[in-house]
Amino acid sequence: MENMDIPIIYGMVNNGTVCAGPVSYDGRNFSLTETVPLSSIDSLKPRKSRGTVVLADAGSLSSGRFVPQFVERCKVPGNDVWLIESVYDESDILDAFLPGLEKLVIPIHTVMDDSVLETAIDISGDCIPFIVCREGKALGRYRDPTERIGKLCAMGFGTVMVADLDGSIGEDVWHIMSDHCRTIPYCPCSRYPDTEDRAVDVFPFVSRRSLR
């Protein structure tokens, strides 16, 4: 199978328009350092074949809350959108699946409990769990990313996205995780593991935490 780089873009709503740009991460919050309208990005404009883009709601990731104003505006013509949006309960999942959304990527540390993830897979096979890691540990109640991905696969998820936000996950851990199921790594501050697919930043990502 051919390797696939899936572009990932952080966005926010500014005066009713979804804007995107370089992102700064301080260990908790994701802030756009400058912005351009999402519709102006050349690499996302319609072309002969449809593309795929991961659109991450920077405000939602920072607050851990569902932001309906962003979800309602996250259309990218000519592209299948994978939306990263914080989800707390079943109603958030249902509200997220608007026309044009290909996948809902759920940061699992924001859900009320694992029953929400079990409900997600019942609602749609287009839900992808998102494990966010810092200092080698997963955010949330379950800190071991290898155990966490094992539980997710046992629930029935066939694909999991994993973020290593500070380059702290070792190659051996990546191997263990990818043995469980299809793992899509997102490593903005470090070398990527050898996997078939990966999420790659379109704009620069600066982790102020990793520079300390």
- What are the DSSP E strand ranges found in the chain? 4-14, 17-20, 23-25, 30-32, 36-37, 51-57, 79-84, 101-107, 127-134, 137-138, 159-164, 182-186, 197-201, 205-207
pLDDT in tens, 135-158: 999 999 889 999 999 999 999 999
Closest CA to 44 of 100, 73, 97, 6: 6
Residues 85, 57 contacting (CB under 8 angstroms)? yes
Reading the block at residue 153, the tokens are: 């696969």
Q: Give the total number of structural domains in the chain.
A: 1
Mean pLDDT computed over 26-53: 85
User: Is residue 132 a part of any domain in this protein?
Assistant: yes
Q: Is residue 22 part of a domain?
A: yes
Q: Residue 106 domain-assigned? A: yes
CA separation for the pair 124, 105 (Å, rounded)? 12
In a domain, 20, yes or no: yes
Per-residue pLDDT reduced to its tens digit, 166-183: 999 999 999 999 999 999
Q: Is residue 54 part of a domain?
A: yes
Distance CA 66, CA 81 (A): 17
The β-bridge partners of 32 are: 23
In which domain, by residue range, is 13 found?
Answer: 4-207
pLDDT computed for residue 151 by the predictor: 96
Tell me the mean pLDDT in the region 31-58.
85
CATH code (residue 129): 3.20.20.70
CA dist., res. 195 & res. 198, Å (int) = 7
- pTM of the predicted model, to two decimals? 0.93
Residue 196 identity (one-letter amino acid): E
Question: Could you tell me which residue, 48 or 101, shows the higher pLDDT?
Answer: 101
Instruction: Assess if residue 212 is contained within a domain.
Output: no
